[in-house]
Amino acid sequence: MKVGIIGAGTMGAGIAQAFAQTDQYEVCLCDINETFAENGKNRIRQALEKRVEKGKLEREVCNQILNKITTGTSEICFDCDLIVEAALEVLEVKQETFQKLHEICKEDCIFATNTSSLSITEISQNVGRPVVGMHFFNPAPVLKLVEVISGLNTPKEMVQKIIRIVEEIGKVPVEVEESGGFVVNRILIPMINEAIGIYAEGGASKEGIDAAMKLGANHPMGPLALGDLIGLDVCLAIMEVLQKEFGEAKYHPHPYLRKMVRGRKLGVKTGSGFYEYN
Ligand code: CAA
C-alpha cells in the first residue's frame, strides 16, 4: 500500500516514519518543493540514526525504512492509496491542497487530514470526495494515539478503513465526532494556557511549574516544555479555535502566549521558547 504524506515538517516527517516502519507501506513524502521534502526525510534519517547508535535498530533495517520513502511534490502521489495531509494549519491551504490532490490522485485514494483542530466538514468543502480526520500526536513515531475524526459527510466505511490502518501501523485509534479541539487538544491546550498564566503572573518559576506537573500529576513532561514541543503558535491557533467554537472565558489565550508568538519564540522549532534549544 502506498501512502502520500503532504507536508514534511515535524508532524509530516513523524507520520511518514511511522508508516515507513510498517512492512506493507511505501511512503511519498511531499512538500511545496523538493528541498523541503528532502529536509523532512533528513529529519527521519537523523531520528533513525540515533536508534542505530543506541543499538535499538539494525543498520540494514534503518536503510530499508529510508529506501521506502520517496520525496517530491504532490504530483508523485498519483498512485497512492491513502493521503495524510499535514500541511499548514490554515483552512484555505488544506482545502486547496485537497482540491489539487483530487485531480492528481486515483479515484479510490482515501483523503485524511492531520488537522489539530480545524473542521473536517469545512476542509472537505469543494474537494470532490470526502475527508476523514487522522490526528497523530507529537512525536508521531512514538505516541500511540490517533484520533479518527468524522466530519458531517465522512462515510462510516471510510472511518472503519482508517481505524484498520491505524492498527496496522501499531497505533491505537479513538473515534471522535467533529468538535472544537477533538478530545486531546480540548483538554491539553487549555492546561498549557493555564500554566503560561501562572508563569506570567509570577506564581512559580517555569522549572517549578513543569516539575509540579511531572511529579504531582505524573505527566511525562511539564506543560511549558510541552508547549515548546508542540509549538506555541500551534497552541495559540488551537486556543483561538476553541474560543471561536465555544466562546467561553476559559478558552481565552493568555496574553503572554500571544506575546511569545509575536516574538517568534515558538519553542523547539525556532530554538527558543520557554526554554532554549540548539
Ligand atoms: N521523534 C522521534 N522519537 C523520539 C522523539 C522525537 N521527537 N523524542 C523522543 N523520541 C523517542 C526516543 O528516541 C526514545 O526512543 P527509544 O526508547 O527507542 O530509545 C523514546 O522516544 C523515549 O525518549 P527519551 O528516552 O529521550 O525521553 P522520554 O522517555 O522522556 O520521552 C517523550 C520523550 C516521548 C517526548 C515524552 O516526554 C512524552 O511523551 N512527552 C509528552 C508528549 C505529548 O504529550 N505529546 C502530545 C502533544 S499534543 C499533539 O501533538 C497534538 C497537537 O495537535 C498539537
- Give me the active site residues, please: 116, 135, 147, 185
Ligand 1 atom with the smallest distance to the CA of 137 is 50
* 224: CB partners within 8 A, 6+ apart: 192, 195, 196, 199, 206, 209, 210, 273, 274, 275
234 Cβ closer than 6 Å to some ligand 1 atom: yes
The atom of ligand 1 lying closest to the CA of 141 is 2
Other CB atoms within 10 A of residue 33 CB: 11
Distance CA 77, CA 155 (A): 23
- pLDDT, position 190: 98
187 lines ligand 1 (CB under 6 A): no
Look up residue 278 and give its three cell numbers. 540548539
- Asked if residue 262 has its Cβ within 6 Å of ligand 1, the reply is no
Tens of pLDDT along the chain (278 residues) come to 999 999 999 999 999 999 999 999 999 999 999 999 999 999 999 999 999 999 999 999 999 999 999 999 999 999 999 999 999 999 999 999 999 999 999 999 999 999 998 999 999 999 999 999 999 999 999 999 999 999 999 999 999 999 999 999 999 999 999 999 999 999 999 999 999 999 999 999 999 999 999 999 999 999 999 999 999 999 999 999 999 999 999 999 999 999 999 999 999 999 999 999 98
Ligand 1 pocket: which of 142, 144, 193, 213 to mutate (most atoms within 8 A of CB):
142
- Residue of the nearest CA to atom 8 in ligand 1? 139
Q: What is the C-alpha to C-alpha distance for residues 46 and 8, in angstroms, rounded to an integer?
A: 14
C-alpha atoms less than 13 angstroms from C-alpha of 136 in its C-beta half-sphere: 30
Q: For residue 66, what pLDDT is reported? A: 98
Q: Which atom of ligand 1 is nearest to the CA of 117?
A: 53
Provide the pLDDT for residue 117.
87
Is the beta carbon of 138 within 6 A of some atom in ligand 1? Answer: yes
Range 189-222 burial, b when 16+ CB lie within 10 A, else e: bbebbebbebbeeeeeebeebbebbeeeeebeeb
Ligand 1 site, residue 116, Cβ cutoff 6 A: yes
- Looking at ligand 1, which residue's alpha carbon is closest to its atom 35? 139
pLDDT score, position 198? 98
pLDDT of residue 110: 98
Ligand 1 mean position, distance from CA 143 (Å) = 7
Q: Is the CB of 139 under 6 A from ligand 1?
A: yes
